[in-house]
């Protein structure tokens, strides 16, 4: 699996180390490989992380699992048939992957499940001049014999436009910018995110609501914010106080502390991410108040492990991360086969999930 940049998602790092181990030990097709516990010890990680990496290599055809006998090295003749797409570029903003883990292991596994013969390549867009980076990438692809496709995660407008103009199979894992109308998307119901969280806060008696967004607003952020404002208006609550905060805990604590002071202090916070919510909770505690009792705190996004409960009340997808990855993969495959004449948009329904023992 080829990658660009240093911050590769953990599942790919571990899978690459296992492939290196197979090569260094000169294992041949049919040779037994390490069981999950032994692989975990070799990698220095827990069993769950090791098992995810082994699963990924099984789906890529590097390993084959036998019932009750562990994994063996696969025969190259048994590798998954390479389909119309040989390489998938995951265009990811480096900072968001680092701070929020926006491509969970499950999404990677599900994507590989639908495109087993494709190589997954992470491409980290620079904070500045993403246009030049994407143009160079498209130029490189034009000279390749492989069929390429794209998955865009929190990509800027210029990246969406350039990928749209390229005509290559592509899916935006998120929301399209205005004027971009020929890219497929898989996204959570952003309007439901805003309205459900506000309804929860109002139901618990919080009416003066602050919304803390990431510093760089994306189209989905605006949709969620509009839904927050509409929900507050429908209940006759004061308009939301909106702030954009950098990805920095100290800065978040400072902003939240200011909103918690004074006679018209905010008593409820809608936070776009869990790191922002954690900063608000620290500010609430520092102000001598109790999070969730005196001040309600909810989060819009939580990218945890499969089955993991969020640390704050949060809108969660009603399908697991692997299914989201499979939906992205199916859309890419349909585009490669010429089955999609126009962009397809899949909206993932949500439910409100709570931390363990919330409200006890």
What confidence tens digit (pLDDT) does each residue in 115-173 have? 987 888 888 888 777 889 999 999 999 888 889 999 999 889 999 999 999 999 999 99
Query: Can you tell me the distance from the alpha carbon of 52 to that of 106, in angstroms, rounded to the nearest whole number?
Result: 9
How many C-beta atoms surround the C-beta of residue 48 within 10 A?
A: 12
Collapse the DSSP code of 63 into the 3-class scheme (helix H, G, I; strand E, B; otherwise coil) and give the result. Answer: strand
Residue 272, in any domain of the structure: yes
Mean pLDDT of 174-196: 94
For residues 145 and 78, the model is more confident at 145
Give the chain's count of helices (H) and strands (E).
12, 14
Q: Provide the pLDDT for residue 145.
A: 85
Confidence at 18, pLDDT banded by 50, 70, 90: very high
Yes or no: say if 3 and 39 are a contact pair by the CB < 8 Å rule.
Answer: no
Has residue 98 been placed in a domain? Answer: no
- Range of weakest confidence among 34-43, 222-231, 304-313, 349-358: 304-313
Q: What are phi and psi of 308, to 5 degrees?
A: -80, 135
pLDDT at 98 over 60: no
Q: What is the average pLDDT across 323-340?
A: 92
Model confidence at 36: pLDDT above 80: yes
Q: Is 232 exposed, middle or buried (0-12, 13-18, 19+ CB in 10 A)?
A: buried
Report the candidate in 29, 350, 48 with the shortest Cα–Cα distance to residue 194.
350
Give the Cα separation of 235 and 268 in Å (integer).
Answer: 15
Range of the domain at 275: 190-316
| Rounded Cα gap, residues 226 and 292, in angstroms | 24
Asked if residue 285 is part of any domain, the answer here is: yes
The answer to whether residue 2 scores a pLDDT higher than 50 is: no
Residue 181: inside a domain, yes or no? Answer: no
Collapsing DSSP states into helix, strand and coil, what is residue 121?
strand
pTM of the complete model beyond 0.75: yes
Report pLDDT for 79: 59
Count of other CB atoms within 10 angstroms of residue 263: 4
Whole-angstrom Cα distance, residue 335 to residue 340?
5
Evaluate whether residue 294 is within a structural domain: yes
Asked if residue 43 has pLDDT above 80, the reply is yes
Residue 177 covered by a domain: no
Q: What is the CATH number of the domain that holds 63?
A: 1.10.10.10
- How confident is the model over 294-321, as a mean pLDDT? 87
Residue 315 pLDDT > 80, yes or no? yes
Q: Is the pLDDT confidence value at 305 over 80?
A: no
Check residue 6 and give its pLDDT.
Answer: 41
Average pLDDT, the chain: 88
Domain count, the chain: 2
Domain of 299, CATH number, reads 3.40.50.2300
Q: Is the pLDDT of residue 211 over 50?
A: yes
Pick 101 or 23 by higher pLDDT: 23
pLDDT at 258: 96
Domain endpoint, select from 60, 78, 96: 78
DSSP 77: G
* CA 351/CA 170 separation, integer angstroms: 28
């Amino acid at each position: 699996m080829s990658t660009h940049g240093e911050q590769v998602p953990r599942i790919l790092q571990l899978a690459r180390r296992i492939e290196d181990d197979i090569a260094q030990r000169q294992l041949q097709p049919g040779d037994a490989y390490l069981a999950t516990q032994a692989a975990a010890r070799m990698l220095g990680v827990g069993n769950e992380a090791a098992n995810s990496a082994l699963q990924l290599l099984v789906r890529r055809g590097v390993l084959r699992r036998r019932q009750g006998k562990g994994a063996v090295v696969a025969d190259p003749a048994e590798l998954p048939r390479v389909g119309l797409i040989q390489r998938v570029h995951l265009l990811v903003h480096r900072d968001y992957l680092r701070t929020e883990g926006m491509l969970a292991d499950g999404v990677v596994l599900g994507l590989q499940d639908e495109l087993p013969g494709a190589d997954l390549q992470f491409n980290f867009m620079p904070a500045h001049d993403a246009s030049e980076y994407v143009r160079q990438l498209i130029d490189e692809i034009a000279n390749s014999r492989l069929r390429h496709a794209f998955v865009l995660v929190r990509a800027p407008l210029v990246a969406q436009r350039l990928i749209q103009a390229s005509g290559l199979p592509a899916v935006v894992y998120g929301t399209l910018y205005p004027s971009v109308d020929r890219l497929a998307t898989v996204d959570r119901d952003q309007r439901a995110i805003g309205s459900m969280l506000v309804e929860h806060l109002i139901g618990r008696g919080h009416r003066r609501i602050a919304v803390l967004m990431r510093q760089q607003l994306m189209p989905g952020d605006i949709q969620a914010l509009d839904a927050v404002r509409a929900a507050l208006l429908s209940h006759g609550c004061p308009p939301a106080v909106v702030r954009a905060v950098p990805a920095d805990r100290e800065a978040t604590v400072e902003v939240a502390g200011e909103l918690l002071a004074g006679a018209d202090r905010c008593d409820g916070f809608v936070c776009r991410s869990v790191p922002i919510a954690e900063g608000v909770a620290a500010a609430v505690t520092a102000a001598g108040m109790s999070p969730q009792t005196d001040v309600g705190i909810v989060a819009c996004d939580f990218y945890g492990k499969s089955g993991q409960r969020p640390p704050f009340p949060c809108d969660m997808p009603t399908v697991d991360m692997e299914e989201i990855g499979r939906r992205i993969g199916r859309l890419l495959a349909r585009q490669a086969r010429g089955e999609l004449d126009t962009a397809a948009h899949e909206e993932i329904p949500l439910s409100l999930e709570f931390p363990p023992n919330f409200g006890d």
